């Protein structure tokens, strides 16, 4: 029996890989464009704009996928805009049943009109604080954290890493690099990663999304990545024989043995061309081989997804059920960058009791 969207919706969920500039409400983009004089939108009708962005993202190329961010970043150039978008992000996720989220953003993208990196990070944190407070008042408590991202094709990663470290006690939990992968390998930013590691801070890196094993290898063995953004190409190091037996190469074995978390985003991968469909996505093989798999949205606006819809897609394709859904959620919390005691409290006081209640409901229904 497949999971109902209502059950998925009510189940506590955790999110490790989601971009602030990939999750704006379409109506907010239109509002902000009007308010701040951004003239570049292809339409000012929110529904048409949402459809336009989704079409633009679904072109089977990471580079083309990334083009759709021009407009979301275009309206994120003022402090109040960043605060509003961050607050709405927290409210939308909480309303979807997400109890813990690490949302990433590259502050350098919001500096076109004079904001500094620190001002952008402060605005992002303030928005999360406001949004989480409103969500809690509405009965949906959520813990919101920030991952500070540097753009891999740019040259500001050291500055961005230093800014991330300055805000670590205010809700920033780690550092990431994002953007086009081919031609911009993670070792270009080694100095930034060194800075983070010397401060005992946390690193996740977009690697193995559109580009293969060398990118994953560099991220782990040179840059100190604790998690992999996507990491889906790790399947290139796994061979499944006709008789079903599986052989892991050295890198795949390392990733599984060391429990390196994979921040997988199946629908986004289908849109950017890294996988043909969710049903064909390597997440199925990787979860069956018990890699440390987590399920994520990447860009809710561009891909037209929510955390719940992503779980529903996975359940429809592979029949994961509540047990596997809980496993994926606990995997995410075990892999999160928040302090251990915070994560443990969420697992023991929110996630486990939440799934226990839903499983009890399910068995009552089954007994009729």
Contacts 24+ apart (CB under 8 A), 45-50: 50/26, 50/301, 50/304
Are β-strands 13-15 and 98-105 bridged in parallel, bridged antiparallel, or unpaired?
parallel
Q: Which is nearer to Zn ion, 298 or 315 (CB)?
A: 298
Q: Between 239 and 278, how does the x/- string for binding to Zn ion read (CB under 5 A)?
A: ----------------------------------------
Q: Which residues of 259-274 are buried (b: 16+ CB within 10 A; e: fewer)?
A: ebbbbbbbbbbbbbbb
Stretch that binds Zn ion, among 214-222, 293-301, 318-326, 353-361 (CB under 5 A): 293-301
209 is catalytic: yes
Q: Which is nearer to Zn ion, 176 or 315 (CB)?
A: 176
Whether 53 and 68 have beta carbons less than 8 Å apart is answered as yes
Q: Which is nearer to Zn ion, 66 or 115 (CB)?
A: 66
Q: How far is the CB of 209 from Zn ion (least distance, A)?
A: 7
Q: How far is the CB of 24 from Zn ion (least distance, A)?
A: 15
Q: Which is nearer to Zn ion, 78 or 298 (CB)?
A: 298
Interaxial angle between packed helices 321-335 and 352-367, expressed in degrees from 0 to 180 and rounded to the nearest 10? 180
For 53, the enclosing helix (H) or strand (E) is helix 46-57
How many residues sit close enough to Zn ion to count as binding (CB under 5 A)? Answer: 1
Catalytic residue among 78, 88, 181, 209: 209
Whether 278 and 267 have beta carbons less than 8 Å apart is answered as yes
For residue 259, give both structure tokens.
């429990």
Residue nearest to Zn ion (CB): 298
Q: How far is the CB of 197 from Zn ion (least distance, A)?
A: 22
Stretch that binds Zn ion, among 40-48, 130-138, 153-161, 294-302 (CB under 5 A): 294-302
Q: How far is the CB of 260 from Zn ion (least distance, A)?
A: 17
- DSSP per-residue letters across 188-248: GGHHHHHHHHHTT--BEEEESSSS-HHHHHHHHHTS--SEEEE-GGGGGGEEE-TTS-EEE
Through-space distance between the first and last CA atoms of the chain, rounded to whole angstroms:
14
Per CB under 5 A, 298 contacts Zn ion: yes
Stretch that binds Zn ion, among 112-120, 135-143, 197-205, 295-303 (CB under 5 A): 295-303
Note the residues at the interface with Zn ion (CB under 5 A): 298
Which residues carry out catalysis?
A: 209
């Amino acid at each position: 029996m497949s999971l109902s969207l209502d059950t998925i919706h009510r189940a506590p969920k955790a999110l490790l890989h989601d971009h602030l500039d990939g999750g704006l409400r379409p109506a907010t983009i239109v509002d902000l464009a009007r308010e701040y004089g951004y003239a570049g939108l292809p339409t000012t009708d929110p529904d048409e704009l949402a459809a336009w962005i989704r079409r633009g993202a679904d072109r089977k190329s990471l580079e083309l996928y990334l083009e759709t961010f021009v407009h979301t970043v275009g309206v994120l150039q003022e402090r109040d805009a960043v605060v509003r978008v961050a607050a709405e992000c927290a409210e939308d996720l909480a309303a979807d049943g997400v109890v813990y989220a690490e949302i990433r953003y590259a502050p350098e993208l919001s500096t076109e009109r004079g904001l500094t990196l620190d001002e952008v990070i402060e605005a992002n944190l303030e928005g999360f604080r406001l949004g989480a407070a409103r969500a809690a008042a509405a009965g949906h408590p959520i813990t919101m954290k920030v991952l500070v991202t540097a753009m891999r094709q740019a040259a500001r990663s050291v500055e961005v890493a230093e800014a991330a470290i300055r805000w670590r006690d205010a809700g920033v939990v780690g550092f990431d690099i994002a953007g086009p992968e081919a031609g911009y390998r993670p070792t270009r930013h080694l100095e930034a990663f060194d800075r983070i590691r010397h401060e005992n801070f946390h690193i996740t890196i977009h690697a193995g999304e559109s580009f293969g094993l060398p990118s994953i290898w560099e991220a782990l063995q040179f840059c100190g990545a604790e998690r992999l953004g996507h990491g889906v190409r790790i399947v290139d190091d796994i061979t499944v024989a006709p008789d079903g037996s599986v052989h892991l190469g050295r890198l795949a074995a390392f990733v599984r043995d060391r429990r390196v978390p994979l921040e997988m985003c199946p629908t986004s991968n289908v849109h950017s061309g890294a996988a043909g469909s969710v049903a064909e996505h390597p997440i199925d093989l990787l979860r069956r081989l018990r890699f440390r798999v987590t399920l994520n949205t990447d860009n809710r606006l561009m891909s037209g997804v929510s955390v719940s819809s992503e779980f529903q897609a996975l359940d429809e394709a592979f029949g994961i059920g509540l047990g596997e859904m809980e496993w994926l959620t606990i995997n995410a919390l075990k892999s999160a960058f928040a302090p251990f005691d915070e994560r443990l409290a969420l697992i023991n006081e929110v996630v486990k009791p939440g799934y226990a209640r839903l499983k009890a409901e399910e068995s009552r229904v089954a007994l009729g």
